[in-house]
Structure 1
Amino acid sequence: MPSANESNIAAAGTALYPHHTDFTGRDPPPADGYSWDQIRNAIKSNSLHALRRTDKGQYEYEQWQDKIDRKTYKNVGEYIAFVILQWPNLQDPADDNTEMTQSMEEKYRAIEPRLTLRLNHYPFPVQQSIQYFVLWSTRDMSLLSERSRLDTYLRLQFIGTQDPLAGPFVEKPLSAELFPPAAGKKKQWMWFLNPVELRSVATVHHIHVFVRDVHPSEPNEVFFERP
């Protein structure tokens, strides 16, 4: 439970940067941002509610949301999909009745999912050694049925086809927003899917991805068994 002093500090922050999110019982982020271990432990212990924006960050996020033209875009997710990610008007191929030999699910699965990796511009704060991305997608990439595709995609974004022990060989450019690894290092990542009650954008599939430099002998992904 927060101390009286911590509660006063939290109240002062909300007064300075008023927002509509209730952070009661959720400690403010560390001054230098969450560490890799803090994020990892929150994922592992299923305590993602412990990770939150600062009051200033939440205020700025809500101010940005308020500027969206709701006559043109029904919700934040629609604005993100069509304006920020610049996805075309996506029609579920299951609605196409031209090929009756396939089931609706088979038609949908036959279409390559649209995946877009972007830095999180309204994140909870993380330490400078970490980059915080969001992977937006037209499917739920956290599903076991999508895991192989997700793993391949993240590897291509952060490592390419590089074998750290044999030297780099990259067939495609790495993510444009990714800081290059330091000399003698490679990238390592971990990700999570927010529970429904913590999602500020509920209408577009997305997972939160964190990346840092590590020694080449370490695994590419910090993996947690997920349902």
Structure 2
Amino acid sequence: MPKVPTDPESAPAPFQLTALDREILSQTDEEYISHDWENLKDIIATNSLHLFKRKPSDLANYISWSTAIKSLYGTITNYICLERLRWPLNLDPATQCVDPTPFADSRDYRILRNDWPYGVTPDISHLVVWVKNAIPVDEQTGGDLTPESRTSIDEFVHRTFVVRLEEEFPDAKARVMWFKNWTALQSVRSLEHIHVLVRGVPDEIIFEWTGEPARKLSDPTVGLENAPIPTPVV
């Protein structure tokens, strides 16, 4: 297993740290206040997505992990395509999508657990839907979704997540939220994805959606368990 640095201050960060990131890194996990469901609802409803944050230890480990992954694979996108999605690099939606419409064919997207979720309360699970298709955004608004894209995602989330939960819970719709970071906030910009948050959902159902068990958090070697040490991709 490749060695992963444990001190995020010992080397340049693999991405630009925000003022909020630096504030979080100055805290202990005991001082950190987790996002609860109501707080998440407010952030998403007001589109204040820059306020999402990770637990201090998770953020420090995420920085170290990102540094290690980039040294091994060149980019986070390369790692995700090769190791998590098993999709080809340099994905071309025009030739490699079964259906040109986003979310229309299950072979064109994959649902996974977020390896590095935001710092939420334990009742909340954070999933990511990776999509081969391009999802139209409005560049005039900093890369926010177009109304048509928002409707398309709403419909996908309803039929994929809400309908399944309706089999178990009378308040299924209230247990699901989604968001898509503006382009400027995305850590993996070249690979389309949306975030889905679910509350109080048994892990068995999470497994149905993702096909993978829960992964240990606060571990800078997540995703590196079986990683080779290849020549860095440039």
TM-score, normalization by structure 2: 0.57
Contact 1:17 1:55 in 2 (8 A): no
Q: Does 1:118 align with 2:112?
A: yes
Q: 1:129-148 to 2 correspondence within 5 Å?
A: 129-141=123-135, 143-146=146-149
The structure-2 alpha-carbon separation of the partners of 1:85 and 1:125, relative to structure 1 and needing over 3 Å to count, comes to: same
- Give the distance between the partners of 2:17 and 2:90, measured in 1 at CA: 34
- Give the distance between the partners of 2:134 and 2:39, measured in 1 at CA: 25
Q: Determine the structure 1 residue equivalent to 2:180.
A: 193
- Higher gyration radius (CA): 1
Matched residue SS, 2:187: coil
Query: Which structure's residues are more often helix, by fraction?
Result: 2
Q: Does 1:49 align with 2:36?
A: no
Give how far 1:91 is off. 5.2
Q: Does 1:24 align with 2:19?
A: yes
Gaps of 5+ in 2: 1-6, 136-144, 202-234
Gaps of 5+ in 1: 1-15, 97-106, 169-180, 215-227
- Give the distance between the partners of 1:25 and 1:88, measured in 2 at CA: 35
The structure-2 alpha-carbon separation of the partners of 1:143 and 1:118, relative to structure 1 and needing over 3 Å to count, comes to: farther
Q: Does 1:79 align with 2:82?
A: no
The correspondence for 1:158, drawn from 146, 158, 161, is: 161
Contact 2:32 2:56 in 1 (8 A): no
- Give the distance between the partners of 1:199 and 1:89, measured in 2 at CA: 19
Q: 1:101-116 to 2 correspondence within 5 Å?
A: 108-109=100-101, 112=105, 114-116=108-110
Q: Determine the structure 2 residue equivalent to 1:225.
A: none
Contact 1:33 1:126 in 2 (8 A): yes
Give the 4+ runs in structure 1 shifted more than 6 A: none
Task: Render the CA deviation track for 1:69-112: whole Å, top value 9, x for unaligned.
Answer: 657x442112112211112456536469xxxxxxxxxx945994
Name the % identity.
Answer: 25
- Give the distance between the partners of 1:95 and 1:138, measured in 2 at CA: 10
The structure-2 alpha-carbon separation of the partners of 1:156 and 1:90, relative to structure 1 and needing over 3 Å to count, comes to: farther
Cα RMSD (Å):
3.7
Aligned-partner residue type, residue 178 of structure 2: W
Give how far 1:22 is off. 3.2
Contact 1:68 1:79 in 2 (8 A): yes
Q: Give the total of aligned pairs.
A: 172
